[in-house]
């Protein structure tokens, strides 16, 4: 009965033994790696610990949103500040990239399905070229070939006279300077946005009940725009604008854009944003195209036979159904874009990998802690995205019949 | 009753109507032009439709203008305005305009091809010694022939060639590229070979029941272990043979060579690992499932750049003292683990697409788990996901450019370092080499994506009943 060979054929016993072996191998591997690491660290005279986070950092970071928000100063800011600045800058470029790539990607995806040959082939060429060239090469192209051929720091290309200009040191735009009462304008803006959404849902409900339509979109836009403008003027225009100042006379070394006026957007940011947007848009275009093609042709034909116009058909019949197919891969493209923003290290845009795992790591030398901290940021974002995906899939499934 | 025709009514037709040619809007070139371009801008029956048609016309014209000028600019840059030769050997001055001290007209903007030609060897092979380039070329040629052979379906022995490409070819490539002659000792290898043989024979004996019933149960596993020993040490032995090739350090490798080595090694090595992970994630054993899931999600959740950073900074810390990987091997390990996670997800997709009846059928035939997988499930699942594997490969091929960030001179890294050469410095230097590298990448990636589409069509045809 209890001959060992009978246990061998026992499914549960086999799987139990195998799993125990697996755990043992894992524990042994972890112990081996851990002990090696400790020996190596000891040999290098290093210890583990997060004490370095409160040390002050000793390097300059290019002025970006992160440094502005954290009020970064060499000598007084800590490595924890550097970490936070890295995260802010990563998500800044990722968020703006996602917005840009979504708009461009949807446009290109719909253009690829156009009946018009010119529009269709333009989108096809765009997608095929941008998709098949490495992102890093595109990044180098924008940064080293395009932005480096802009006028030098004593010259500029004027975009709006006295308000916006670009040269090799970056793009200069007017900067808003909130005064007393600007907060109220901000609150009012949010309130009006909420009101616009409320009007939208009210109009929808009314249309379902009475069949009467209400131009909710334009009403919403008008409320947000005029309402905010009204509050803005009632509060006595509480936002001052700082315009960039460009000098092309005077001592040679003083010419160019004057520091402290307007808002400067560094060329590294522009290059990363452009590359990420254009590259990811090509993938999004393919996802959108596949999503729309996945909707049966009968849907379009039924809609046409009801007398609905092509544009309205696309907006009310096709896209809502296609979104169900589009959103899961779209989310993973957003995730890819966020991860790809780490390529910015190649042109020294001050994001997480570049300043924390690059410059700061070189100064502090805490490889394990710092790379671990960097990974946690990306992993958290991935897990959040995965959680959203699961939630979305569950929600879509309920709608499905 | 008389027919209407006989009654000679005026309104009754007596001849067939003439067969007219199709309207110009339906056939021929004009028809194509009408249906593909002008029909969308020809509706002026109402104000709304008129505005829409007008907008469409304006949009088309703008896009035509924008696309046309872009394409013309590219052709002009690469061909019409480009400098093709540097007969006097004046290097950078060949691509200088009058203002910069050269001979080209002011405002000239074109590719500087002599620069790219002069850097050609560096872009393709890096610092690989010039007299040994035949080794790289031979490796590439054999690889290309083998790959094309496997892909063309009319050729005989495709399976055998494929097996050789996966087993003998990597060994050959390793020896040719590095020079082989590793410093492993033959006596040492010999001992391990004998041990391997001993284990195999023990397994054989055990299978026939000579060593008792308990041992017989494990005989297959033991025989397998023996083979692993034998093959591993045979490979070590061959790699240690002195073929009289000059050893070449991987630091001297570069350019397209590195790109291809990293991408191909990454994808080939990640296949078996990916299969194991995918099976693990679908396994019934909770521990295996959990570990595989954590592994896959971890690697998929972090950017490749951090993986490479980790491989180059943290890997040396993890290894016992004295074990030192060279830079390329570190990057390879990172790329391999990274792509294994992606590969596992692709293969899992294939596994999920297999009908449950296949598993049940195999079980009913009395096949064990591994037999089921090897003989029934995996062959179907893997053919199913060939397009997905090719797409992963395209992604990996593009991602190899990231190794340039950790100091390995792949194609893009080599291109970037040629820009720093002052003897060719000109205002079109960067753009020239970028256009060239982009073209190389485009040809590879576009070709592979066409192949994947072709496979997809073929597979979907064979699958439809």
Q: What pLDDT is attached to residue A401?
A: 47
Residue A339: CATH number of its domain: 1.10.3720.10
Residue B357 falls inside a structural domain: yes
Q: What pLDDT is attached to residue B64?
A: 93
Q: Which residues constitute the domain of residue B400?
A: 252-465
Residue B429 falls inside a structural domain: yes
Neighbour-count burial of B160, counting CB atoms closer than 10 A to its CB (0-12 exposed, 13-18 middle, 19+ buried): exposed
Nearest to A4 among B40, B214, B427 (CB): B214
Residue B317 falls inside a structural domain: yes
**Residue B464 scores a pLDDT above 60:** no
Task: Please indicate whether, in this complex, the C-beta atoms of A115 and B314 are within 8 angstroms of each other.
Answer: no
Q: Tokens 């391997």 label which residue?
A: B196
Q: Which tokens sit at A297?
A: 């042709």
User: Residues of B with CB below 8 A from A339's CB?
Assistant: 302-304
Q: Would you place residue A399 in the very low, low, confident or very high pLDDT band (cuts 50, 70, 90)?
A: low
Count the neighbouring beta carbons within 10 Å of the beta carbon of residue B420. Answer: 9
Residue A266 falls inside a structural domain: yes
Q: Would you place residue B75 in the very low, low, confident or very high pLDDT band (cuts 50, 70, 90)?
A: very high
User: Residues of A with CB below 8 A from B304's CB?
Assistant: 339
B87 near A CB under 8 A: no
Average of per-residue pLDDT across A186-192: 90
| Cα end-to-end distance, chain B, whole Å | 55
Q: What pLDDT is attached to residue B440?
A: 93
Residue B175 falls inside a structural domain: no
Helix/strand/coil for A247: strand
CA dihedral angle for residue A15, residue A17, residue A22, residue A25, rounded to 10 degrees: -170
Query: How far apart, in whole angstroms, are the C-alpha atoms of residue B462 and residue B386?
Result: 14
Task: Please indicate whether, in this complex, the C-beta atoms of B416 and A140 are within 8 angstroms of each other.
Answer: yes
DSSP strand pairing (A170-173 vs A263-265): antiparallel
Residue B387 falls inside a structural domain: yes
Helix/strand/coil for A393: helix
List pLDDT tens digits, range B156-182: 888 888 888 888 888 888 888 888 777
**Residue A398 scores a pLDDT above 60:** no
Task: Please indicate whether, in this complex, the C-beta atoms of A137 and B441 are within 8 angstroms of each other.
Answer: yes
List pLDDT tens digits, range A133-163: 999 999 999 998 888 888 888 888 888 877 7
Smallest CA–CA distance, residue A365 to chain B, in Å, is 10
Interface of B with A in 312-351 (CB under 8 A): 313-314, 316-321
Segment (H or E) for B208? none
Residue A360 falls inside a structural domain: yes
User: Residues of B with CB below 8 A from A8's CB?
Assistant: 217
Q: Are residues A237 and A331 in the same domain?
A: no
Task: Please indicate whether, in this complex, the C-beta atoms of B313 and A36 are within 8 angstroms of each other.
Answer: no
Average of per-residue pLDDT across A163-171: 84
Residue B454 falls inside a structural domain: yes
Q: What pLDDT is attached to residue A1?
A: 43
Q: What pLDDT is attached to residue A161?
A: 79
Q: Are residues A118 and A165 in the same domain?
A: yes
- ipTM of the complex in this document: 0.86
Q: What pLDDT is attached to residue B238?
A: 82
Residue A250 falls inside a structural domain: no
Average of per-residue pLDDT across B313-325: 80
User: Residues of B with CB below 8 A from A125's CB?
Assistant: 67
> In sequence order, which residues have a C-beta less than 8 Å from that of residue A171 and are 6 or more positions away?
A164, A165, A264, A265, A267, A270
Q: Are A387 and A394 in contact (CB under 8 A)?
A: no
Interface of B with A in 386-405 (CB under 8 A): 394, 398-399, 401-402, 404-405
Nearest to B313 among A8, A119, A367 (CB): A367
Query: Which chain A residue is nearest to residue B109, measuring alpha carbons?
Result: A149
Q: Are residues A130 and A185 in the same domain?
A: no
The percentage of chain B sitting over the pLDDT mark of 90, rounded to a whole number, equals 25
Q: Are residues A222 and A284 in the same domain?
A: no
Query: For chain B, how many structural domains are there in total?
Result: 1
Nearest to B306 among A22, A115, A374 (CB): A374
Interface of B with A in 44-63 (CB under 8 A): 56, 59-60, 63
Query: Which chain A residue is nearest to residue B284, measuring alpha carbons?
Result: A15
Smallest CA–CA distance, residue B148 to chain A, in Å, is 22
Query: For chain A, how many structural domains are there in total?
Result: 3
Q: Would you place residue A101 in the very low, low, confident or very high pLDDT band (cuts 50, 70, 90)?
A: very high
Query: How far apart, in whole angstroms, are the C-alpha atoms of residue B308 and residue B71?
Result: 36
Q: Would you place residue B3 in the very low, low, confident or very high pLDDT band (cuts 50, 70, 90)?
A: low
List pLDDT tens digits, range B178-231: 887 777 777 778 888 888 888 888 888 877 777 777 777 677 778 888 888 888
Q: Are residues A224 and A182 in the same domain?
A: yes
Smallest CA–CA distance, residue A307 to chain B, in Å, is 14
> In sequence order, which residues have a C-beta less than 8 Å from that of residue B280 and are 6 or more positions away?
B288, B289, B291, B292
Q: Would you place residue A8 in the very low, low, confident or very high pLDDT band (cuts 50, 70, 90)?
A: low
Nearest to A367 among B37, B317, B401 (CB): B317
Query: How far apart, in whole angstroms, are the C-alpha atoms of residue A149 and residue A146?
Result: 5
Interface of B with A in 200-239 (CB under 8 A): 213-214, 217
Which of A191, A217, A242 lies at the terminal end of a domain, its last residue?
A242
Q: Tokens 């970006």 label which residue?
A: A64
Q: Would you place residue A2 in the very low, low, confident or very high pLDDT band (cuts 50, 70, 90)?
A: very low
Residue B413 falls inside a structural domain: yes
Q: What pLDDT is attached to residue B76?
A: 92
| Cα end-to-end distance, chain A, whole Å | 54
Smallest CA–CA distance, residue A109 to chain B, in Å, is 15
Q: Would you place residue B152 in the very low, low, confident or very high pLDDT band (cuts 50, 70, 90)?
A: confident
Nearest residue to B268 (alpha-carbon basis) of B141, B146, B409, B413 = B146
Residue B416: CATH number of its domain: 1.10.3720.10
Q: Which residues constitute the domain of residue A41?
A: 4-47
User: Residues of B with CB below 8 A from A22's CB?
Assistant: 287-288, 291
Residue A251 falls inside a structural domain: no
List pLDDT tens digits, range B39-70: 878 888 888 888 888 998 999 999 999 999 99
Nearest to B434 among A5, A23, A140 (CB): A140
Query: How far apart, in whole angstroms, are the C-alpha atoms of residue B217 and residue A17?
Result: 15
Q: Are A336 and A72 in contact (CB under 8 A)?
A: no
When mean pLDDT is compared across A274-283, B96-105, B272-281, the lowest value belongs to B96-105
Q: What pLDDT is attached to residue A282?
A: 95
Task: Please indicate whether, in this complex, the C-beta atoms of A375 and B302 are within 8 angstroms of each other.
Answer: yes
Count the neighbouring beta carbons within 10 Å of the beta carbon of residue B102. Answer: 17
Q: Are residues A151 and A179 in the same domain?
A: no
Smallest CA–CA distance, residue B395 to chain A, in Å, is 9
List pLDDT tens digits, range B138-150: 999 999 999 888 8
Share the mean pLDDT of chain B.
86
- A58 or B429: which carries more pLDDT confidence? B429
List pLDDT tens digits, range A207-249: 888 888 888 888 889 999 998 888 888 887 777 788 888 887 7
When mean pLDDT is compared across A328-332, A379-383, B96-100, the lowest value belongs to B96-100
> In sequence order, which residues have a C-beta less than 8 Å from that of residue B136 and are 6 or more positions away?
B125, B128, B176, B177, B257
**Residue A58 scores a pLDDT above 60:** yes
User: Residues of B with CB below 8 A from A133's CB?
Assistant: 398, 438, 441-442, 445
Q: Are residues A268 and A395 in the same domain?
A: yes
Residue A206 falls inside a structural domain: yes
Q: Are residues A33 and A106 in the same domain?
A: no
Q: Are residues A163 and A188 in the same domain?
A: no
DSSP string, A253-316: GG-EEPTTSSEEE-HHHHHHHHHHHHHHHHHHHHHHHHHHHTS-HHHHHHHHHTT--HHHHIII
Q: Are residues A232 and A146 in the same domain?
A: no
Residue A182 falls inside a structural domain: yes
Residue A90 falls inside a structural domain: yes
**Residue A400 scores a pLDDT above 60:** no
Q: Tokens 């595989």 label which residue?
A: B292
Burial profile B192-222: b = 16 or more Cβ within 10 angstroms, e = fewer: bbeebeebbebbebbbeeebeeebbbbbeeb
List pLDDT tens digits, range A356-380: 888 888 888 888 888 889 999 999 9
Q: Would you place residue B386 in the very low, low, confident or very high pLDDT band (cuts 50, 70, 90)?
A: confident
Residue B409 falls inside a structural domain: yes
Q: Which tokens sit at B256?
A: 């397209």
Residue A249 falls inside a structural domain: no
Which of A214, A242, A270 lies at the terminal end of a domain, its last residue?
A242
When mean pLDDT is compared across A7-11, A346-350, B109-113, the lowest value belongs to A7-11
Q: Are residues A347 and A377 in the same domain?
A: yes
Q: Are residues A341 and A363 in the same domain?
A: yes
């Amino acid at each position: 009965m209890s001959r060992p060979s009978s246990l061998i054929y026992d499914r549960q016993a086999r799987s139990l033994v195998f799993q125990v072996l697996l755990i043992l191998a894992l524990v042994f591997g972890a112990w081996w790696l851990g002990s090696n690491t400790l020996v190596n660290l000891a040999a290098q005279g290093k210890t583990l610990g997060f004490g370095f986070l409160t040390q002050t950092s000793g390097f300059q970071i290019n002025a970006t949103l992160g440094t502005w928000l954290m009020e970064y100063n060499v000598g007084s800011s800590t490595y924890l500040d550097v970490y936070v600045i890295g995260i802010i800058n990563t998500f800044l470029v990722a968020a703006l990239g996602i917005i840009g790539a979504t708009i461009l990607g949807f446009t290109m995806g719909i253009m690829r399905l156009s009946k018009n040959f010119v529009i269709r082939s333009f989108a096809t060429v765009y997608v095929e070229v941008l998709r098949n060239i490495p992102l890093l090469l595109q990044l180098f192209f924008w940064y080293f070939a395009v932005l480096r051929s802009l006028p030098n720091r004593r010259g500029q290309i004027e975009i709006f006279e006295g308000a916006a200009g670009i040269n090799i040191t970056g793009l200069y735009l007017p900067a808003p300077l909130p005064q007393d009462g600007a907060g109220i304008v901000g609150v009012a803006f949010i309130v009006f946005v909420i009101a616009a959404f409320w009007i939208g849902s009210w109009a929808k409900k009314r249309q379902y009940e009475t069949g009467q339509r209400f131009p909710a979109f334009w009403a919403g836009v008008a409320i947000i725009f005029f309402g905010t403008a009204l509050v803005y003027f009632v509060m006595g225009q509480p936002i001052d604008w700082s315009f960039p100042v460009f000098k092309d006379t005077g001592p040679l070394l003083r010419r160019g854009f004057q520091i402290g006026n307007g808002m400067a957007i560094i060329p590294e940011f522009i290059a990363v944003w452009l590359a990420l947007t254009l590259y990811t848009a090509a993938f999004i275009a393919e996802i959108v195209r596949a999503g729309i093609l996945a909707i049966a042709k009968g849907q379009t034909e039924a809609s046409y036979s009801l007398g609905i116009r092509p544009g309205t058909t696309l907006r009310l019949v096709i896209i809502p159904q296609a979104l169900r197919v589009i959103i899961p891969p779209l989310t993973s493209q957003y995730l890819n874009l966020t991860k790809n923003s780490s390529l910015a290290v190649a042109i020294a845009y001050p994001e997480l990998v570049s300043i924390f795992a690059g410059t700061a790591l070189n100064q502090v030398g805490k490889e394990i802690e710092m790379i671990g901290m960097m990974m946690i940021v990306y992993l958290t974002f991935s897990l959040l995205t995965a959680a959203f995906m699961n939630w979305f899939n569950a929600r879509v499934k309920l709608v499905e019949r | 009753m008389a027919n209407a025709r006989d009654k000679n009514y005026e309104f009754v037709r007596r001849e067939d109507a003439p067969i007219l040619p199709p309207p110009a809007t339906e056939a021929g070139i004009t028809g194509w032009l009408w249906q593909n371009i002008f029909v969308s801008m020809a509706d002026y029956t109402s104000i709304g439709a008129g505005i829409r048609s007008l907008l469409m016309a304006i949009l088309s014209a703008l896009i035509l203008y924008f696309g046309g000028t872009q394409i013309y600019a590219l052709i002009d840059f690469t061909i019409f305005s480009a400098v093709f030769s540097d007969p006097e050997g004046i290097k950078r001055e060949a691509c200088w305009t009058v203002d910069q001290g050269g001979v080209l007209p002011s405002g000239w903007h074109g590719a500087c091809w002599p620069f790219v030609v002069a850097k050609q060897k560096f872009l393709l092979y890096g610092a690989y010694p010039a007299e040994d380039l035949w080794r790289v070329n031979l490796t590439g040629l054999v690889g290309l022939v083998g790959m094309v052979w496997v892909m063309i379906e009319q050729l005989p022995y495709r399976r055998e060639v494929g097996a050789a490409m996966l087993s003998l070819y990597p060994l050959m490539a390793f020896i040719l590229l590095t020079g082989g002659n590793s410093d492993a000792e033959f006596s040492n290898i010999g001992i391990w070979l004998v041990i391997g043989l001993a284990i195999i024979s023990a397994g054989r004996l055990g299978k026939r029941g000579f060593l008792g019933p308990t041992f017989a149960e494990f005989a297959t596993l033991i025989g397998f272990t023996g083979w692993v020993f034998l093959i591993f040490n045979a490979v070590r032995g061959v790699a240690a043979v002195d073929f009289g090739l000059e050893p070449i350090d991987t630091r001297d490798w570069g350019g397209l060579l590195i790109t291809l080595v990293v991408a191909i090694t990454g994808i080939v090595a990640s296949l078996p690992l990916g299969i194991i992970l995918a099976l693990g994630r679908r396994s019934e054993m909770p521990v295996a499932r959990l570990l595989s899931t954590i592994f896959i999600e971890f690697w998929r959740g972090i950017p490749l750049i951090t993986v490479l950073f980790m491989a180059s900074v943290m890997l040396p810390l993890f290894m016992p003292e004295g074990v030192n990987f060279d830079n390329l091997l570190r990057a390879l390990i990172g790329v391999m683990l990274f792509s294994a996670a992606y590969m596992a997800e692709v293969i899992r997709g294939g596994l999920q697409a297999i009908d449950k009846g296949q598993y049940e059928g195999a079980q009913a035939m009395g096949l064990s788990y591994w037999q089921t997988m090897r003989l029934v499930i995996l062959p179907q699942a893997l053919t199913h996901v060939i397009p997905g594997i090719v797409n992963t490969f395209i992604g990996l091929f593009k991602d190899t450019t990231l190794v340039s960030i950790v100091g390995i001179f792949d194609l893009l890294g080599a291109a970037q370092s040629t820009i720093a050469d002052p003897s060719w410095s000109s205002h079109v230097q960067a753009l020239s080499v970028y256009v060239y590298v982009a073209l190389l990448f485009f040809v590879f990636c576009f070709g592979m994506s066409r192949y994947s589409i072709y496979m997809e069509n073929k597979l979907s045809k064979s699958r439809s009943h």
